[in-house]
Amino acid sequence: MTGPDGSALPTRGPGVLLTVEGLCKRFPLPRGFIGTLTNRPTEAVHAIDGISFELQRGEIMALVGESGCGKTTTALTLMGLLEADEGTIRFNGEDVTHLGRSVEAPRATIAALERQSFRREPSFQPTLTMKDLRRQVQMVFQDPYESLNPRATVFETVAEPLEVHGLAGTRDQLLERVRRALEDAGLHPAEDYLWRRPHELSGGQRQRVVIAGALVLEPILLIADEPVSMLDVSIRAEILNLLDDLRTRRGISVLCITHDLGTAAYFTDRIAVMYLGRIVESGPTQAVLAHPLHPYTRALLSVIPVPNPRLRRKRMILTGETPNPVHLPRGCRFHPRCPIATARCAEADPAWREVTPAHSAACHEAVAPG
Amino acid sequence: MPRAFRPRRLPEVGVPGRGAGMMKPTARWRERLASVVRLFGRNRMGLVGLAMLGLAIGVAVLAPWIAPYDPETTGRVTIDDIYARPSAAHLLGTDDGGKDVLSALVYGARVSLVVGFAASLISMLIGGSVGLIAGFYGGRVGNLMMRLTDIFLVIPDLPLMIVIVAMVGPSLWNIIIVIGILGWTGTARIVRSQALSLKERQFVLRARAIGAGNFHILRRHIFPLVLPLIVTNTVLVISLSILEESTLSFLGLGDPTTLSWGGMLNFAFTRGAISTGAWWALVAPGLGIVWVVLGCTLLGNALEEAFNPRLQSHHLQGEERMIARPAQPGASDA
């Protein structure tokens, strides 16, 4: 399989696409003038505190958690928009953790690489640059009212990635690719939308434009940060179906970040639940929903509204605030709010263990169902 | 602005529907221009300002045809010609040299407008680029630039201008440059605050996610959204520049070879127009200055309203006005 410009793209098919290991991202807090004078140690917000997961090719995975738990930070770090402090990100087997700053490889390097490939040295391995990575990993943002330039037409927005990557070609080719991306994103006939500006589109249409802008580079991984949270409920299913459809038709993997287990349950294969910068439970969607292992997951599940008003369910309302991510609690980070916490939970941080096949949790009390 | 007291008229053009979407880009652009014109046209004060400025420009351009006398030629002057009252021969009377005030007024418009436009062009270029760079790149360079702006902002303009003009000599171009390099601070501050808030918007993050570099983002996402602000500000700076030129000329620091309105005031004031009761020699250039400055200010305010980036439009709202979005953090230090 070759990319639009003839470069080798990873083949699609089964296998691991994305591996994240022990990823950490801290945001140091300003020390202030006095702090600097007294050389007080810098404190930091632990936005992500060692998360690990794998994403298979063609898989849709949800990263679920409440606000402030580090979901968006994870997405931005995976996109290389933030640089990870610790841990590794492997994309298609290649370490892309610190491509970070070098948006473009220096021309000399590219020339050297091209010479090498011309000589067909067997040892030659093309290395990914940030720009290559950007072509293969694209992101859909939360707020479709904010993620489009209000002065740019739909055509300009969708064509922009191609121009940035120098893949625009002739005007006709460009138009054709933009048109195809729009149609793929469910905006047809595309001609109706090409010259509109964001204020002439509805929320759902805008989100489709954002998705089209991500699709136009033909990525193999789409990171969707709360793709439907700003949309009307009536449009949510459409957008989620679209993402699902893209997986089946294009074999794209999707990492969907959401605070809503209902959204995750709707179309994902696997769910990872995040709490305070760490993944506390992960497993196949069905298993997580049917037999949640972690008390936090149970709490999230218990507050999903049930359509039947006669069906009374005991809700598990968590008390207390999320602990401050600067001073994390000792032991299990969920224990101050956990309804089943024991003395052990305040002492020892629970290990990540596989309770049933492919279904793991970080909880001392987690037991296999049945 | 008195806008709030006028009833809001319903828009002439409804929601752009399917038909609008199928238009060619040029047609869309024309439609957009038309919407700005429509929005602007609804502001009567702005139209008045435009007409006032247009008239002044027309007079300046057509000066040789409009002016009844050539201000350069000196005919024979008798004692009766000095500070002669307005008459059929001299509609606005004569000045201390026995020359026609109306002709001087007409030619003076040229000087005032050239200084106004050229100086604000310089201000716009300096202020725009300083604001964009300081706002978008920020960091040490941005801070340094803003401190520099602060310094220029706190220095009283007039004394500094007087000193500089006295040192470099009072030619028209020197005056333009001095006014230009002292008048950019406001533009820089406004542009910077706008750039600061724009760069935090999600569409800039999206551009980064695509792989766009700083220059691309600046060119495609920041500059087009800041441009209307720069244009609007420039129109307002024009009136300031004209005032400053008049001030300098009034103080006797104007270009001695060209007679601007400020220069006319200076001559009338220092050469006994008041004691002789020749009010026309003072009122004519004074009204000229007021006319142009008022025109620019009205126009600038109207443009500001038509272009304001905070007044965003919505697809369901035919009229392109909407509630201002909440201010972005960091944007409030203008």
- Average pLDDT value over all residues in chain A: 81
Indicate whether B58 pLDDT > 70: yes
Q: Report the pLDDT value the prediction gives residue B316, as an integer from 0 to 100.
A: 42
Residue A100 confidence (pLDDT): 52
Domain range for A116: 23-31+43-361
pLDDT of residue A285: 92
Q: Does B21 sit within 8 Å of A194, measured CB to CB? A: yes
- When pLDDT is averaged across residues B10-38 and rounded to a whole number, the result is 55
User: How far A198 CA lies from chain B's nearest CA (Å)?
Assistant: 8
Kindly state whether B212 is in contact with chain A, defined as any CB-CB distance less than 8 angstroms.
yes
Q: Which chain B residues are within 8 Å of A131, Cβ to Cβ?
A: 211
% residues pLDDT > 70 (chain A):
87
B21 and A192 within 8 Å at the Cβ level: the answer is yes
B222, B139 Cβ separation under 8 angstroms? no
pLDDT value at residue B25 = 57
CATH code of the domain in which A162 resides: 3.40.50.300
Burial zone of A150 (CB within 10 Å; 0-12 exposed, 13-18 middle, 19+ buried): middle
pLDDT at B13: 42
Residue located via tokens 């707020």: A143
Interval B196-202 mean pLDDT? 87
Which CATH number fits the domain that encloses residue B94?
1.10.3720.10
Q: Are B235 and B54 in contact (CB under 8 A)?
A: no
Is residue B16 domain-resident? no
For residue A70, is it within any domain?
yes
Tokens of B298: 């009205």
Q: Would residue B328 count as lying in a domain? A: no
Q: CB neighbours of B67 closer than 8 A, spacing ≥ 6?
A: B100, B102, B103, B106, B107
The answer to whether the CB atoms of B225 and A199 lie below 8 A apart is no
Whether B9 is covered by a domain: the verdict is no
Using a CB-CB cut-off of 8 Å, the residues of chain B touching A155 are 25
In total, how many domains does chain B have? Answer: 1
Q: Does residue A8 register a pLDDT over 70?
A: no
In a domain, residue A133? The reply is yes
Mean pLDDT across A241-266: 88
Calpha distance B198→A37 (Å, rounded)? 34
pLDDT at A120: 41
Global pTM exceeds 0.80: no
Res. B8: pLDDT tops 80: no
Least confident of A258-272, B21-35, B66-80: B21-35
Looking at beta carbons, which residues of chain A come within 8 Å of B210? Answer: 134, 138, 160-161, 164, 213, 217
Asked if the C-beta of B207 comes within 8 angstroms of chain A's C-beta atoms, the answer is yes
B211 touches chain A (CB under 8 A): yes
B211, A159 Cβ separation under 8 angstroms: no
Angstrom distance (rounded) from CA A78 to CA A75: 5
pLDDT at B131 over 60: yes
The three state secondary structure string of B25-36 is HHHHHHHHHHHH
Of A81, A194, A200, the CB nearest to B315: A200
Tell me, rounded to whole angstroms, the distance of Cα A151 from its chain centroid.
Answer: 28
User: Which has the minimum average pLDDT: A41-45, B79-83, B242-246, B313-317?
Assistant: B313-317
In terms of Cβ atoms closer than 10 Å to its own Cβ (0-12, 13-18, 19+), residue B80 is: exposed
Picking from B16, B202, B221, the nearest residue to A143 by CB comes out as B202
User: Which whole number is the average pLDDT over B268-279?
Assistant: 81
Q: Token pair of B327, please?
A: 């201010």
3-state DSSP assignment of residue A95: strand
pLDDT digits (tens, 9 = 90+) for A291-348: 999 999 988 888 877 777 777 677 777 777 777 778 888 888 888 888 888 888 888 8
Segment B170-198 mean pLDDT: 89
Q: Do B205 and A151 touch (CB under 8 A)?
A: no
For helices B261-270 and B101-137, the axis angle rounded to 10 degrees is: 130
Residue B75 pLDDT more than 60?
yes
pLDDT band at A101 (very low <50, low <70, confident <90, very high): very low
Q: Is residue B61 part of a domain?
A: yes
Tell me which of B204, B225, B314, B315 to substitute to probe the interface with A (most A C-beta atoms closer than 10 Å): B315
Does some domain include residue A132?
yes
From the list A368, A360, A366, the residue with the least C-alpha distance to A338 is A366
Q: Average pLDDT for residues A110-129, to the nearest whole number?
A: 47
Q: Is the pLDDT of residue B18 over 50?
A: no
**Does A111 score more than 60 pLDDT?**
no
The reply to whether A36 falls in a domain is no
The whole-number pLDDT of residue B28 equals 62
| Residue A127 structure tokens | 């290395």
Distance of CA A227 to CAs A18, A144, A233, A255, Å?
A: 20, 8, 12, 11
More confident residue, B6 or B210: B210
Distance of alpha carbon A343 from alpha carbon A235, whole angstroms: 46
Round to whole Å and give the CA distance between A61 and A268: 5
Residue A67 has pLDDT above 70, yes or no: yes
Average pLDDT over residues A169-190: 87
B23 located within any domain: no
Give the pLDDT score at A68.
79
Alpha carbon A282 to chain centroid distance?
15
Q: How far apart are CA B165 and CA B252, in angstroms?
A: 11
Chain A residues lying within 8 Å of B25, measured CB to CB: 153, 155, 195
Q: Which two tokens stand for residue B6?
A: 């006028």
Cβ contacts of A148 on chain B, cutoff 8 Å: 203, 206
Q: Which of B65, B64, B75, B66 is nearest to B99 (CA)?
A: B75
Q: Shortest CB distance from B209 goes to which of A81, A142, A194? A: A81
pLDDT at B327: 47
- A367 within a domain of the structure (yes/no): no
Count other Cβ atoms within 10 Å, centred on residue B219. 12
Beta carbon pairs, A and B, within 8 Å: 89
Which of A200, A211, A216 to mutate against chain B (most B CBs within 10 Å)? Answer: A200
As a whole number, mean pLDDT of residues B132-141 equals 88
Chain A nearest C-alpha distance from B187 (Å): 22
Could you give the CA distance from residue A134 to residue B64 in angstroms, rounded to a whole number?
63
Mean pLDDT across chain B, nearest whole number? 79
Mean pLDDT of B9-18: 42
How many other CB atoms are there within 10 angstroms of residue A307's CB atom? 5
pLDDT at B7: 45
**Confidence category of residue B308, pLDDT binned at 50, 70, 90:** low
pLDDT above 60: residue A25: yes
* Residues 299-318 in B contacting A (C-alpha not used; CB under 8 Å): 312-315
- In this prediction, residue A273 carries a pLDDT of 93
% chain B with pLDDT above 70: 79
Which of A130, A164, A202 is best to mutate for the B interface (most B CBs within 10 A)?
Answer: A164
Distance from CA of B72 to the nearest CA of A (A): 51
Question: Within a domain: residue A370?
Answer: no
Any domain includes A18: no
Lowest mean pLDDT among A14-23, B7-16, B194-203, B291-300: B7-16
| Residue B120, domain member (yes or no) | yes
Structure tokens at A369: 């169902």
| Residues B31/B288, Cβ–Cβ less than 8 Å | no
Buried b (16+ CB within 10 A) or exposed e, A76-97: bbbbbebebbebebbbbebebb
Distance, in Å, from the CA atom of B53 to the CA atom of B63, rounded to the nearest integer, reads 15
B positions 7-46 inside 8 Å of A (CB):
15-16, 18, 20-25, 28
Which residues from B are below 8 Å from A151, CB to CB?
224-225
| Strands A221-225 vs A253-258: parallel, antiparallel or unpaired | parallel
Strands A137-140 and A221-225: parallel
Tell me the mean pLDDT in the region A60-73. Answer: 87
Q: Is residue A368 part of a domain?
A: no
Contact criterion met (CB below 8 Å) for A274 and A322: no
A213: closest chain B residue by CA: B210
> Angle at the Cα of B248 (from B246 to B252), degrees rounded to 5?
110
* ipTM given for this complex: 0.77
Give residues 145 to 174 of B whose Cβ lies within 8 Å of A. none
Q: What pLDDT sits at residue B124?
A: 92
The CA-CA-CA angle for residues B179, B262, B89, to 5°, reads: 145
User: Is residue B193 a contact partner of residue B158, using CB atoms and an 8 Å limit?
Assistant: no
Is the peptide bond between A189 and the residue preceding it cis, with omega within 30 degrees of 0? yes
CB contacts of A152 in chain B (<8 Å) are: 220
Q: What's the rounded Cα separation, in Å, for the pair B278 and B18?
A: 67
**Residue span of the structural domain in which B205 resides:** 41-68+88-310
Q: Answer whether B314 sits within 8 Å of A199, measured CB to CB.
A: yes
- Pick the more confident residue, B119 or A13: B119
**By CA distance, what is B27's nearest residue in A?**
A195
pLDDT confidence of residue B26: 63
B208 Cα to chain A: minimum distance (Å): 7
Most confident segment among A119-133, A148-162, B72-86: A148-162
- What is the Cα gyration radius of chain A? 22
Residues of B in contact with A191 (CB under 8 A): 21-22
Span A79-85, average pLDDT: 83
For B29-44, the pLDDT digits (tens) are 676 677 767 767 777 8
- pLDDT in the model for residue B5: 46
| The residue type at B262 | G
H/E stretch holding A178 reads helix A171-184
Q: Is residue B120 very low, low, confident or very high in pLDDT (cuts 50, 70, 90)?
A: very high
What is the H or E stretch that residue B154 is in?
helix B139-154
Q: Report the number of distinct structural domains present in chain A.
A: 1
Q: How far apart are the first and last CA of chain B?
A: 21
